[in-house]
């Protein structure tokens, strides 16, 4: 099965009420996900929350991604997933702060400014260093 197909199957199984098989497939998908690719963690987190109604495992996926990524782009993607899923405000803010501290060049600064433009309520974090 292709990686993306796992999530389709998880959604279908959850819709049918086969939560046990959906969880099994999602854990299998997690085992194939690459820890350095934040989109994989985001897909897993979204599936845990949207289809299996399990915010603890959704947060776990994002925390693992945060621990395995230290570049600005990845940290901002993780923070954005926290925002999108309305999960764990403290962890979201921590990712944003890490991204600010990891910024080393103009491109990183531009990414951070784009993030703050899109998510203006987090703008004050920039001054909390």
pLDDT in tens, 4-47: 999 999 999 999 999 999 999 999 999 999 888 999 999 999 99
Q: Give residue 29's pLDDT.
A: 95
Residue 129: pLDDT over 60? no
Structure token pair of residue 127: 């001054």
Q: What is the pLDDT of residues 103-116, one digit of tens each?
A: 999 999 999 999 99
Q: Give residue 45's pLDDT.
A: 96
Q: Give residue 109's pLDDT.
A: 95
Q: Give residue 128's pLDDT.
A: 60
Residue 120: pLDDT over 90? no
Task: Work out the pLDDT band at 125, boundaries 50, 70, 90.
Answer: confident
Q: Taking a C-beta distance cutoff of 8 angstroms, is the pair 10, 22 a contact?
A: yes
Alpha carbons 103 and 13: distance in angstroms, whole number: 41
8-state DSSP, 33: S
Q: What is the largest CA-CA distance in the chain?
A: 49
Q: Give residue 127's pLDDT.
A: 60
């Amino acid at each position: 099965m292709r990686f993306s197909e796992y999530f389709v199957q998880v959604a279908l199984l959850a819709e049918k009420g086969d939560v046990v098989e959906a969880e099994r497939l999602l854990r299998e998908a997690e085992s194939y996900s690459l820890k350095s690719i934040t989109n994989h963690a985001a897909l897993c987190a979204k599936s845990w929350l949207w289809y299996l109604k399990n915010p603890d495992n959704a947060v776990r996926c994002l925390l693992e991604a945060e621990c395995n990524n230290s570049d600005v782009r990845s940290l901002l993607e993780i923070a954005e997933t926290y925002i999108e899923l309305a999960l764990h405000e403290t962890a979201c803010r921590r990712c944003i702060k890490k991204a600010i501290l990891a910024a080393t060049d103009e491109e990183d600064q531009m990414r951070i400014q784009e993030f703050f433009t899109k998510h203006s309520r987090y703008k004050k974090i920039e001054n909390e260093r």
